[in-house]
Chain A
C-alpha cells in the first residue's frame, strides 16, 4: 500500500509525518535539528530516500543537511555559498545601493532525475546548484548578472529566491521567483535569464507595471503543463498560459487576493488552491476563519473549503512554502500554519483535519508519495 511522508520545516526544527494511503493515522518524528530554523526540506523525485534540508539561524548561519534513508539519519554537507565574482549591489529598502550578502537558503529543489543534483534559492537572491549531493555549491550567476539585479529590492521578509520550478519536459528550462523582484525564466539551463513579469501590476511601485520589482510570493505549475503557471503575488492571483511571457489576473471572487501559497491538484491541472490572507498588514485569514479556496477552472471562480478548519478566532498565517499535494488517486492537500498546525485533506480539499498541532510556527510543508 502506498505511503505518504510529509516533511515539515518550522522555526525550531523539522518534523516528519508518515501515514499509509488512507491518511488517517499519522506518526510524527522530530524535532530534527531542534532549535534551528528549517526554512525548507524536500525529497528527491529520483530517489525518495534522499532528502535535503536547509537549516539556519541568525547566530551560526547556514547548514545543509542530507538524509539518505528517508529522514531517519542526517549528515551536514556543504554550507559554503559564495557569490560568483564581484557580488555588486541591489537596492536597499530606501532605494540606495546595497551589497549582496548571503544570509540563508529559503528553498531546496532536487533535480527531477539525479539525486545528487539540487538547486538552492538564497537570500540575498541568488540561485545555487550542487551536483555532488550538497557537498559543494556553485552560483548560477547568469540570473543576477542578466541586467536587472541592481533594481531588485528586498520584501519585508528579505530579498529571497523562494520558488524554483523545474520543467519536466524541457530540462533546460527553469522558473524562479524572488521577493521583491519578480519571476524569471531560463531556457538554456541557467546561462541566460529573462524577467517574465508582463501583466503584473503592483501599486506600491513607482511604475506599477515595471519589468522588475514585483513582490511575487509563490509560483506553481502542473508537471504535465509546464507552460501554464499560477502565481500568488503580494496582492493578486495571476495566471500565465505562455510560460510567463504574459500574465492575467484570476483572483475572481476571492474574498481577498493577498496570500502566500498557491498549488495545483496532482491530477487536475486546472484545479488550484490558495489560502486568502486579509491584507499585507494583517497576516491572518479574513473574519478569523481559516479557509482554503479552490478553483476548478484555473482561476476566477473560487469556492471556499472550510470543513474541518477553524471557523472562528483563527489568526494564523500560511507561509509561502507551506502547502503541498500528494499524488495518490484521491489527491491529498496539505498546509501548515504559523500556529503550528499541519492540516490535511485526503479528498482534494473537501474535508480537512489537523494531522499534527502545536508545533513551532510552520515555514514549509512538502509531501512525498511513496510506493
Chain B
C-alpha cells in the first residue's frame, strides 16, 4: 500500500533556512501526529532541528504554532492523532510563526 504524502506548510523563515518552497511533502510512518510529522520533517531537513521544538525537551518553541483543518492545535498533546484530512494529504499541516508584535526587531 502506498502511503499518502503529508503536506506541511512552512513559515517564510524556515523556508529560507531549508531552501524549500512554501509546502513540502514528507512521508510519515506509523500514526500521523505532531510528533511524527516533526520527526519526519527534521530527518529530511536536519537544519530545522531546534527551530520548532526544543532539542532536549521536545517542547514546542513558545512563538511557534501548529494548525490543522483550520484549528489551532498547538496546545494538543504531540501524540494526538491528527485529522484524517491531514493524514491523507488532503489538508496541509501548518507551522506558523506567531504574530507577536515586532517592535523590537
Contact = CB atoms under 8 A, between A and B. Distances in A.
Given A37-B105, A80-B50, A60 B55 contact: no
- Tell me the interface secondary structure of chain A in the complex: loop
A76 B17 contact: yes
A62 B12 CA distance: 16
A154 to B, nearest CB: 15
A59 B49 contact: no
A33 interface: yes
A36 B13 CA distance: 7
B61 interface: yes
B66 to A, nearest CB: 13
- Tell me the interface secondary structure of chain B in the complex: loop
Given A35-B16, A76-B47, A79-B49, A58 B105 contact: yes
Interface residues of A, number: 17
Given A60-B97, A76-B17, A80-B55, 12 more contacts: A35-B13, A35-B16, A36-B16, A58-B63, A59-B13, A59-B61, A59-B64, A60-B17, A60-B52, A61-B51, A63-B51, A82-B56
30 contacts: A11-B105, A33-B16, A35-B12, A35-B13, A35-B16, A36-B13, A36-B16, A37-B105, A57-B13, A58-B63, A58-B100, A58-B105, A59-B11, A59-B13, A59-B64, A59-B98, A60-B13, A60-B14, A60-B61, A61-B50, A61-B61, A63-B17, A63-B47, A76-B17, A79-B49, A79-B50, A79-B51, A80-B49, A80-B50, A82-B56
Interface of B: 11-14, 16-17, 47, 49-52, 55-56, 61, 63-64, 97-98, 100, 105
